[in-house]
Chain A
């Protein structure tokens, strides 16, 4: 099986007025066909930067320092802007957090879906409207004919996110990138939206990259999870195994800080320290300053990947097991 998306040793920096921010370093990750992979980390860990890099939508200040991103056989880093625009929306789609602001506020949602269909689907003009309504129906929006005419401000946040998903899935993409898709939605709506994303990926054998800060959410919906910290991927494992047997101290702390049905508020632990300043010189392991298991060996370069099992890798010299 060939990976739908593969990111290899990808490094990216931001050149800002106040110095160079090493936002991503040697990030490697792959997503197979039909697989849901979660990227989990605190805000500032670089998970959204990674998502935008995969889309080829980096900030103007971003500079790629090395590595490769391949999607469906296309080298995303060297492809022309035209080639990227042809892929985006058709084979590679993305949904965002705060769906309300992510939709054009003064265009009917139906028309926004049509814009994408017109660009990518090669449909005769008279079929656009029907297809747009069908796309709304597919994400189980009740009364799609009427919703077609709605403006985003007339819809609830959850409904807006469904519209976003309908837009993203309108052209049956190979890969969906969901960047914190349920942030800002209430808990019931969260579950509905996540179920929808999972069902859609299963039905269409679509791959999904789920970016989230919520390890619990990722554990529930993902096949595999990659944990990110300060621009590094520190651990990758099948979801169930990662949750039950974390190997990286950071993953363990993230887990302890994640509420579960059985945990109490008192039982929740906050992670000590904060993310290091990515503008400064950093030790090989960027977690070392916050790590209780830190030992001199951690400061030796380079920091290697350790394969604990064929599917479970960790980037730590003193993992919790194995």
Chain B
């Protein structure tokens, strides 16, 4: 438990850094938010009024204090586009993004790890080359382009996928009553199988497009880690001890390869959370990414900075979870900390 506490403390500098950066992004940059908030018809006096009201006439450290106090109260400001508090907007839309990211991650891991393991068990075979080639090709495809291609093929040409109208075709189905905010879970809670199936069907293409980009690093690192642990001394010991192949592959080689794979997950999360924005745009997904894009285009500062802050906090939390997982995988991590 000491380790968990230490690791939790370790996130504090990151959190402070993130808060400072979001503050700087919104307060200390060229451009005059006051002029913007005052609107196009404002004169010098009304701009000054807005500036005073927003506290922008005070020194940066004072503004920073106000910012911290506001954050502590969960006040991220109001969004111009929706007229709602930014935090409310974000919490409203977060489950949609998390649901999508989760399915994408599951897809990437479920495909990437077996691919990497398979390639590693037959190094330099045809399978290995095919795996590596497809992985490097996949890494060259922009997520949004993959999304569009999949829509074209599976919706327009084949008619297998539902229309890309977001999380649920609301003409045909009604959204389940909100419990977690994730439609797949909420529809299960409500016992509504049709809606569950429909929302799952809506998820398939965006999750695959998002996951494909994460696939490359996962498969690549799995292969490298497996090649290394299959060639390691302890795998040789296990073979010399006559352990069955499956046991050697899983308990000895794979469990040891998991640590590098877990370490690359941090980068994968960075990809996934970033590309989320693009995929939500392509599929009309009503998550925080789409919200942030419309906020950016409308120069809705508070909403954008709230989004950036929330994503950063989410990312820090995900990395924390990965680190904690690493200690479960490898006792040495716990020991060294």
Contact = CB atoms under 8 A, between A and B. Distances in A.
A touches B in complex, CB < 8 A:
yes
B234 A115 contact: no
Nearest to B232: A101
Given A98-B233, A106-B330, A119 B244 contact: yes
Contacts of A94: 237, 240
A294 interface: no
Contact of A119 (B242, B330, B335): B242
B247 interface: yes
Contacts of B240: 55, 57, 88-89, 93-94, 96
DSSP majority for the B interface?
A: helix
A57 B243 contact: no
A137 interface: no
A116 B233 CA distance: 16
Contacts of A168: 241
How many B residues are at the interface, by size bracket? 20 to 34
Interface stretch (B78-86, B251-259, B292-300): B251-259
How many A residues are at the interface, by size bracket? 20 to 34
B6 interface: no
Nearest to A116: B241
Contacts of A153: 331-332, 335
B228 to A, nearest CB: 12
Given A88-B241, A153-B332, A167-B241, A115 B251 contact: yes
Contacts of A96: 233, 236-237, 240
- Interface centre among B234, B241, B259, by most chain A C-beta atoms within 10 angstroms, is B241
Contacts of B331: 106, 151, 153
A164 interface: yes
Interface string B87-130: 00000000000000000000000000000000000000000000
B329 A89 contact: no
B206 to A, nearest CB: 36
Interface of B: 232-234, 236-245, 247, 251-252, 255-256, 259, 329-332, 335
Interface of A: 55, 57, 84-90, 93-94, 96, 98, 101-107, 115-116, 119-120, 151, 153-154, 164, 167-168
28 contacts: A84-B242, A85-B244, A85-B245, A88-B239, A89-B240, A89-B242, A90-B242, A93-B241, A94-B237, A96-B233, A96-B236, A96-B240, A101-B234, A102-B236, A104-B237, A105-B332, A106-B256, A106-B259, A106-B329, A106-B331, A106-B332, A107-B251, A115-B243, A115-B251, A119-B244, A153-B331, A153-B332, A154-B335
